[in-house]
């Protein structure tokens, strides 16, 4: 039996039916973890299924999202950017206005409720940009649970405002020095903690990746983004959007926006990957679907940046949140089926978009959605004026101002 | 034992012989190509004489999530010295040319096998003289991916059982396991905290009630005394982190193998083997 290397690319009847009972989206996903963790993963799956179908759990979560998280987030017509680009009518989904400054709080409120329901008494998490780490530290403070965050040493340096926030919220931050000291390494270290403290500890994974049920669970908690856009766009324009654009690291904000629209054939969907120094620069980017191939890491099969021997590469992105050599398995499947187009954007293009957005719209975006913005800059002028385009502004740029000032040579 | 069918594999023959001798198996782990190919080969070739009954060879991986700092560093040293899966299989072939008795188990993570790809890897592993494999991140739920194809080729797929493997799950873990069962004595990573002997004794007894296979104990075993105590509750013990630590501490200032690198690993193995045999140290 040869190992499959590409999935069956035939279009399914629905793009919203996955994963299957074993956690697979076609070839991708699954539960590739050590035996110590297997019983936990199976228990988590059962607990999540029960919570999902529990009206009380869902009502409590809705209440928290509204009164603590600040949902719904606005759908904002970016008038000056639209005029500037002379094409599609551009809307921003303002998830950067959420409590803690990004979409990450949506998932953390869901998972902390689940952890409490399962009787877990200690929380761990990995973080790249620190947006997930801050959101985890926040919900742990809110519910009085001890919290330890693993963050790569490189990211600790380039996202220092978020490190300070985590400390102030009472979290312990471990600076991870293995590898390149980025998101991949922090996830390895969080998994090592979990396998050691398996009985009392709940691991809040922040992206739509990892072993089943995490990819599906994170997607479900983030789908509030797309569900709101559906409703808000009906109210504003009386119809569905035509085009969706979101940045992809692991892909949680993107799958949250995309998922409710996957079966609406008229909606064109674009995921924007980090091309770093350029797709042609060896180990110089983290566009795993544009420049990688399928493999197994961190509990799931998915597109990975790797060498010929199956060693995972560090890659590069200016954005700590996109600096990850893998991607959520559902995105890998959506790529192979052709439902979503995945496109690369370089560091430089993202920096240009960051500045354009700040000056035209008075919104300082995080470097992650700056990648999505950069693609909007390319795409919008090619679209008709009545094309309704929604870009997910998934995080605010406060955390990035010092790093960006450094890249631009500004004196502060 | 005239009533039994003759054991088929090197692993089965090895455990049957040890049973006749009435002593536990000493399983050693080192990483292929650590700190370089030639030194690694010399370490491996000397292990049986130093007292190793079974040899586990780590397949280096960039992201060894179940391993502690010692094995992580060992994996990185090997990769930096240019070790690849092809060279790991070559290392086994070179070992086999000189030793056709000692069982060899490849241990590692799925990705380098998956991209090889799996079928070609299994064919070449069998042809190189590999007897079995432990792939940490392929659980029984994914048996059709790697375990069953390995069994079809006569390779043992050795499963890890852990303190979290409860009675409900144990049959699934044991179902397609062959060769022996590797009991992970702690919840944690390799080379971490020392196991609690009474817990290990109870758990190994529980596993042995469900399988006729030998059960060996690993993760956190360092000293001859500890090895002896744990071996009394099981059919063997695995030592790995202590050996790769010996490689690290004998490297020269340039990070390359030092004059004592090979001999220090063999000396530790001799001490542990002597401890396991309940005898005084030979060194």
Q: Is B131 a catalytic residue?
A: no
Residue B220 placed within a domain: yes
- Does A357 score more than 70 pLDDT? yes
Residue B11 placed within a domain: no
Q: Which domain holds residue B156?
A: 24-275
> Quick check: B50 and B259 in contact, CB under 8 A?
no
- Does A79 score more than 60 pLDDT? yes
Query: How far is residue A285 CA from its own chain's centroid?
Result: 17
| Poorest-pLDDT segment among A181-190, A357-366, A375-384, B256-265 | A181-190
Nearest CB to A295: which of B68, B115, B145? B115
Mean pLDDT of B86-104: 98
Q: Which residues pair with A302 in a beta bridge?
A: A295
Q: Which residues pair with A270 in a beta bridge?
A: A245, A341
Q: Is B245 a catalytic residue?
A: no
Nearest CB to B187: which of A30, A184, A196? A196
- Inter-chain Cβ pairs, chain A and chain B, closer than 8 A: 128
Contact across the interface for B111 and A3, Cβ inside 8 Å: no
- Does B281 score more than 50 pLDDT? no
Residue B282, pLDDT score: 34
Mean pLDDT of B25-43: 98
- Does B211 score more than 60 pLDDT? yes
In which band, very low, low, confident or very high, does the pLDDT at B7 lie, cut at 50, 70 and 90?
low
- Does B1 score more than 80 pLDDT? no
Measured CA distances, B60 to A35, A209, B113, B193 (Å): 20, 24, 11, 23
Nearest CB to B160: which of A35, A198, A293? A35
Residue A411, pLDDT score: 79
Nearest residue of chain B to residue A32 (CA atoms): B137
pLDDT in tens, B148-172: 999 999 999 999 999 999 999 999 9
More confident residue, B223 or B58: B58
CA distance B88 to B106: 9
For B190-219, give one letter per residue: b (16+ CB within 10 A) or e: bbbeebeeeebbebbebbbeebebbbbbbb
Contact across the interface for B79 and A311, Cβ inside 8 Å: yes
Closest of B280, B243, B260 to residue B47, by C-alpha: B243
Closest of B165, B202, B216 to residue B29, by C-alpha: B216
The third-level CATH classification (topology) of the domain covering A72-102+222-408 is Rossmann fold (3.40.50)
Measured CA distances, A354 to A253, A320, A376, A377, B23 (Å): 18, 15, 12, 11, 68
Nearest CB to B188: which of A196, A293, A312? A196
Q: Report yes or no: B145 at the A interface, CB cutoff 8 Å.
A: yes
- Second CATH level (architecture) for the domain A31-65+103-218: 3-Layer(aba) Sandwich (3.40)
CA distance A315 to A303: 13
- Does B131 score more than 70 pLDDT? yes
CA distance B11 to B13: 5
Burial class (CB in 10 A: 0-12, 13-18, 19+), A280: exposed
Mean pLDDT of A190-198: 94
Same topology between domain A31-65+103-218 and domain A72-102+222-408: yes
Q: Report yes or no: B68 at the A interface, CB cutoff 8 Å.
A: yes
- Does B4 score more than 70 pLDDT? no
Closest of B179, B178, B234 to residue B203, by C-alpha: B234
Q: What secondary structure letter does DSSP report for A342? A: E
The CATH number for B267's domain is: 3.20.20.70
- Does A361 score more than 50 pLDDT? yes
Domain total of chain B:
1
Residue spans of the domains in chain A: they are 31-65+103-218, 72-102+222-408
- Does A272 score more than 90 pLDDT? yes
Q: What percent of chain B has pLDDT over 70?
A: 96
Residue A10, pLDDT score: 62
The 10 Å Cβ neighbour count of residue A407 is: 14
Q: Report yes or no: A38 at the B interface, CB cutoff 8 Å.
A: yes
pLDDT in tens, B40-55: 999 999 999 999 999 9
In which band, very low, low, confident or very high, does the pLDDT at B2 lie, cut at 50, 70 and 90?
very low
CA distance A409 to A399: 17
Q: Are strands A299-304 and A341-346 parallel, antiparallel or unpaired?
A: unpaired
Q: Are strands A24-25 and A28-32 parallel, antiparallel or unpaired?
A: antiparallel
pLDDT in tens, A399-412: 999 899 999 998 77
Nearest residue of chain B to residue A191 (CA atoms): B65
Burial class (CB in 10 A: 0-12, 13-18, 19+), A10: exposed
B78 membership: H or E segment, kind and range: helix B69-80
Residue B16 placed within a domain: no
Residues within 8 A of A (CB atoms), B 172-231 only: 173, 184, 187-189, 192
Helical spans, DSSP H, in B28-68: 37-50
Q: Which residues of A touch B162 (CB under 8 A)?
A: 34-36
Q: What percent of chain A has pLDDT over 70?
A: 98
Closest of B230, B268, B262 to residue B42, by C-alpha: B262
Residue A4, pLDDT score: 46
Measured CA distances, A264 to A16, A246, A372, B71 (Å): 11, 17, 21, 49
pLDDT in tens, B15-29: 999 999 999 999 999
- Does A178 score more than 90 pLDDT? no
Residue A8, pLDDT score: 52
């Amino acid at each position: 039996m040869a190992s499959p290397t590409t999935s069956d690319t035939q279009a399914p009847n629905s793009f919203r039916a996955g994963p299957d009972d074993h956690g697979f989206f076609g070839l991708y996903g699954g539960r590739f973890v050590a035996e110590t963790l297997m019983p936990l993963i199976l228990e988590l799956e059962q607990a999540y299924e029960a919570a999902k179908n529990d009206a009380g759990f869902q009502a409590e979560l809705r209440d928290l999202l509204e009164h603590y998280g600040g949902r719904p987030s606005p759908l904002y017509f970016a008038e000056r950017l639209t005029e500037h680009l002379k094409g599609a009518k551009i809307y921003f989904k303002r998830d950067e206005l959420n409590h803690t400054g990004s979409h990450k709080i949506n998932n953390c409120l869901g998972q902390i409720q689940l952890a409490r329901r399962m009787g877990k008494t200690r929380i761990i998490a990995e973080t790249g940009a620190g947006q997930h780490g801050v959101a985890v530290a926040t919900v742990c403070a809110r519910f009085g649970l001890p919290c330890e965050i693993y963050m790569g040493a490189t990211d600790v340096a380039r996202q220092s405002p978020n490190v300070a926030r985590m400390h102030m919220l009472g979290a312990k931050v471990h600076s991870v020095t293995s590898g390149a000291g980025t998101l991949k390494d922090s996830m390895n270290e969080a998994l090592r903690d979990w396998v050691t403290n398996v009985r009392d500890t709940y691991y809040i994974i922040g992206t739509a990746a990892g072993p089943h049920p995490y990819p599906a669970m994170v997607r479900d908690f983030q789908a509030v983004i797309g569900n709101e856009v559906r409703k808000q766009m009906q109210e504003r324009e009386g119809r569905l959007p035509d085009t969706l654009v979101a940045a992809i690291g692991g892909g949680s904000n993107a799958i949250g926006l995309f998922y409710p629209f996957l079966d609406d054939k008229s909606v064109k969907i674009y995921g924007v990957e980090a091309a770093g120094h350029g797709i042609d620069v060896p180990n110089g980017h983290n566009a795993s679907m544009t420049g990688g191939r399928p493999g197994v890491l961190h509990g799931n099969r998915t597109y990975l940046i790797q060498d010929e021997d199956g060693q995972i590469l560090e890659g590069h992105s200016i954005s700590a949140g996109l600096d990850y050599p893998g991607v959520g398995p559902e995105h890998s499947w959506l790529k192979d089926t052709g439902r979503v187009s995945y496109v690369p954007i370089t560091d430089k293009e993202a920096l240009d978009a960051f500045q354009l957005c700040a000056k035209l719209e008075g919104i300082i975006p995080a470097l992650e959605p700056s990648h999505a913005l950069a693609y909007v800059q390319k795409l919008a002028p090619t679209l008709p004026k009545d094309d309704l385009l929604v870009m997910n502004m998934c995080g605010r740029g406060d955390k990035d101002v010092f790093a960006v000032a450094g890249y631009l040579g500004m004196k502060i | 034992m005239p009533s039994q069918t003759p054991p088929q594999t090197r692993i089965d023959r090895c455990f049957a012989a040890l049973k006749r001798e009435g002593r536990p198996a000493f399983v050693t782990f080192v990483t292929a190509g650590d700190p370089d190919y030639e030194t690694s080969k010399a370490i491996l070739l000397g292990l049986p004489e130093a007292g190793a009954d079974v040899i586990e060879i780590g397949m280096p991986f960039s992201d060894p999530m179940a391993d502690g700092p010692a094995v992580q560093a060992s994996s990185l040293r090997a990769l930096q010295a240019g070790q690849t899966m092809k060279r790991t299989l070559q290392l086994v072939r070179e070992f086999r040319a000189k030793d056709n008795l000692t069982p060899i188990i490849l241990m590692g993570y799925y990705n380098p096998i998956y991209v090889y790809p799996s079928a070609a890897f299994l064919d070449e592993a069998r042809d190189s003289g590999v007897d079995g494999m432990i792939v940490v991140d392929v659980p029984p739920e994914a048996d059709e991916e790697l375990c069953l194809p390995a069994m079809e080729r006569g390779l043992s797929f050795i499963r890890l059982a852990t303190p979290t493997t409860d009675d409900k799950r144990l049959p699934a873990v044991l179902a397609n396991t062959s060769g022996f069962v590797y009991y992970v004595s702690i919840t944690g990573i390799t080379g971490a905290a020392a196991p609690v002997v009474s817990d290990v004794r109870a758990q190994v007894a529980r596993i042995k009630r469900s399988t006729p296979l030998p059960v060996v104990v690993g993760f956190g075993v360092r000293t001859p005394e500890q090895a002896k105590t744990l071996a009394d509750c099981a059919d063997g013990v695995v030592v790995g982190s202590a050996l790769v630590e010996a490689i690290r501490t004998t490297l020269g200032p340039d990070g390359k193998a030092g004059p004592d690198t090979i001999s220090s690993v063999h000396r530790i193995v001799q001490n542990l083997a002597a401890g396991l045999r309940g005898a005084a140290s030979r060194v």
